[in-house]
Structure 1
């Protein structure tokens, strides 16, 4: 039997749809959890909006279903494929969905329409997943958040609600950073060390060992032929940190470059939002690894004190949902 706070219209949905995974929480108005579901990445730009929404469909149906089957059950597989019907507990009060790929205004509008069309909630709020890190890390819900995971992005929010963002479209929009770019750079230097165009580096052995190939060039060819996904290059980030710890100068160079890029994004966003010495929040798996050289480099060049966000990004989505529709009215609703 449901408690009074577990009636459908009293509940809230919080979503963090990231490049590595999608995290959905069903919570009460005070933020306490009712159910959760975690699934694959939300990648509308790479896989298309229908494929990305299929991931979210399956997870929301799991947390709203009266009977939640195990992930490997036939019912769960049927729901992912869109087969059959699932009895749900009903429409909730609101859903806050912070989604990767919600970068440009038209992309945000498309995803907003997609979520609204599902009829999961009375009210829907969609924003880029970078905002989730900001809300997860800042009690005041302001400052600068830099996400450095598979990719990189940044947002700044001022006390008066002004925001500064980036297009977040990768290399073409001036972005460099995250595990993907760090891994591609490690492979680049490994190949150059192997053929003599660059200095010797421990990254050559790290690359070949990680992919189980005799030469770094073999990894390049495997990616070129479609035998290995280039997304796996993000897996090399820990190897870059490990090589730096052993004194590898190329690894130092890459970590310093990453730190400079994160600080540059934070500085630009803070300036455009009119923030002076703001709190700079670092989120994402690469930043959360907390490598001392990377953190020192960012702190040296950032526009304000740097803190690593240890709470998962979905906690920021919960905080926003509770602030907008639940018990905490201190969360701004316009950011």
Structure 2
């Protein structure tokens, strides 16, 4: 895929694979030997084109790949797989491909980051994955090649959930609590310290004048979960709504694929789900069991770069032993998938 090793040595450098996973808050990249050994890693900020634009996305991914190659030295690339949040529509994928045309890795596999999450959770041919991190999205696949996807453009495309929407709604309720239009909530006291401000009116003003970027509303999500655990009714209602939205995504996708009557893994991941909040997870399990009794939840706690790496290794024809080695190297200290 790209240049080989040191010509002066007379021995070609062994090939590597490159995998990139980019979400709403960070982007991870890894280079692996074909035996699954990690050769180099790199991390950057968000690469979502919805947040930074397509040109900046392409430049950030190229910078990460160059950092990998600087560490590994010039190596042939047997496969490169790039999975990014925000590549939800064919037009977005086409625009990204046009933007990377001049890069050495331009013939990489490029797709939405949900496919990396899906592979991190399962290799089964019939499966669904829901990510709930900064935003929310879902994908489903079937053994015959059928795929169900969603635009994932927020409220415009019928979505609700993820850290940004939780933060937005938490601030909405806090504002109404402060001025008397709504019920009292602990969120009114919990939100201002997140931004180093004195009160809710100060937060509202800072957002209005863009001293706080709108994207930073996602920083409120952990406070919502904490307030819910402490018994705040407003926060609990938001957590319950989040559980409902996750299950609606999963069940709708299973139905559209004709998989409601089969045992199918439903892979769950992303920062909000990864917080392992008891109310959220039990709410998901209860609702999913009622509507899709045969579905099996698989909670991914490893970073989705694991799935991206496995897909890249598989594309290069790596062995099962290599896949196992990569899994051991890249999963976090918790189990990668919790049955």
Q: TM-score, normalised by structure 1?
A: 0.86
Partner Cα distance (1:42, 1:61) in 2: 15
Output one character per residue of 1:55-110: Cα deviation in whole Å (capped at 9) or x when no partner: 1111100101257xxxxxxxxxxxxxxxxxxxx50441211110112110111122
- The equivalent residue for 1:61 is 66
Partner Cα distance (1:8, 1:128) in 2: 31
- The equivalent residue for 1:279 is 265
- The equivalent residue for 2:329 is none
Partner Cα distance (1:115, 1:161) in 2: 27
Output one character per residue of 1:156-175: Cα deviation in whole Å (capped at 9) or x when no partner: 11122211110011110011
Partner Cα distance (1:159, 1:329) in 2: 20
Match of 1:308 among 288, 299, 303: 299
Q: CA 1:314 to 1:115, structure 2 compared with 1: closer, same or farther past 3 Å?
A: farther
Partner Cα distance (2:305, 2:217) in 1: 25
Match of 2:32 among 11, 14, 27: 27
**Paired residues of 2:138 and 2:150 also in contact (CA < 8 A):** yes
1:244 matched to 2:228: yes
- The equivalent residue for 1:106 is 91
Offset at residue 117 of structure 1 (A): 3.3
1:182 matched to 2:176: no
Match of 1:324 among 315, 321, 326: 315
1:297 matched to 2:302: no
Structure 1 segments unaligned to the other structure (5+ residues): 68-87
Offset at residue 305 of structure 1 (A): 2.4
How many residues were matched structurally?
307
**Paired residues of 1:183 and 1:236 also in contact (CA < 8 A):** yes
**Paired residues of 1:135 and 1:141 also in contact (CA < 8 A):** no
Partner Cα distance (1:180, 1:297) in 2: 20
Output one character per residue of 1:232-264: Cα deviation in whole Å (capped at 9) or x when no partner: 211111111111111110011000000000111
Runs of 4+ in 1 over 6 A off after TM superposition: none
Output one character per residue of 1:315-334: Cα deviation in whole Å (capped at 9) or x when no partner: 10111111121314899xxx
Output one character per residue of 1:24-61: Cα deviation in whole Å (capped at 9) or x when no partner: 11112232211111111102123221111121111100
- The equivalent residue for 2:214 is 230
Q: TM-score, normalised by structure 2?
A: 0.85
